[in-house]
Amino acid sequence: MRRYHASISPIGALSGDGSDPAADLESVVGAGDDFAVFAPSVPALRSNWETLFASRLLQMVRADRSLLPDGDVEVVSLDAKDVPDMLALVALTKPGPFRLRTVELGNYIGIREGGRLVAMAGERLWVGDFREVSAICTHPDVQGRGYARVLMGRVINRMLHAGETPFLHVEWTNKRAIDLYRALGFATRTEFALLHAKRVA
């Protein structure tokens, strides 16, 4: 059982080697802490856990190496000083886990209007040369202006220049996002169960 530091992400993974997953979880997740996992199947939890969210995710990969248009909108780099604004946007739009130190996992960019952060995207997980596009979110006040497409174009193009293959995760019910990702060249690789739970005792 491994996991990120709680200030970075609740995401973790279990080995799947036949050991007791509940005991493995409790060896690293203390009372009051939370844990998230996405996998072909998720562990059954004991009664001292509360399920916060359960769903299914599509994992999508962009094998196409062609660069994307990245628009003419002013885009800014985001770092630790921007975290309060990033957390506020995530709380409003709920693109997935984002915490105080998530920004340390990769490059994040955004669009500001009147000083307010209204859209962002960045990088989170990576496995070898596969790099995850993550935290794609747009404030409801500015949806429909193509900001997600612009930011994803910048993030994906950086990955392609680095020889990386972009992938992402999206909740299976989010048809609007899935349609955008397909238009940008992503194809579904597989589907995962998603579980986010809190240990209450």
In tens, the pLDDT along 151-174 reads 999 999 999 999 999 999 999 999
Q: What is the pLDDT of residues 2-29, one digit of tens each?
A: 999 999 999 999 887 767 888 888 999 9
Residue 18 has a pLDDT of: 67
Structural contact between residues 84 and 116, judged by C-beta atoms closer than 8 angstroms: no
Extract the tokens encoding 16.
């799947």
Mean pLDDT, residues 67-86 taken together: 96
Mean pLDDT of the chain: 95
SS3 state at 93: helix
Look-up of token digits 């910048």: 154
d(CA 155, CA 149): 10
Residue 124 has pLDDT above 70, yes or no: yes
Query: Exposed/middle/buried for 162, CB within 10 Å: 0-12, 13-18, 19+?
Result: exposed
Compute the CA torsion angle 152, 94, 35, 128 (nearest 10 deg). Answer: 0
Q: What is the pTM of this model?
A: 0.94
Domains of the chain: 2-57+195-199 (no CATH), 59-191 (3.40.630.30)
Percent of the chain with pLDDT over 90: 90
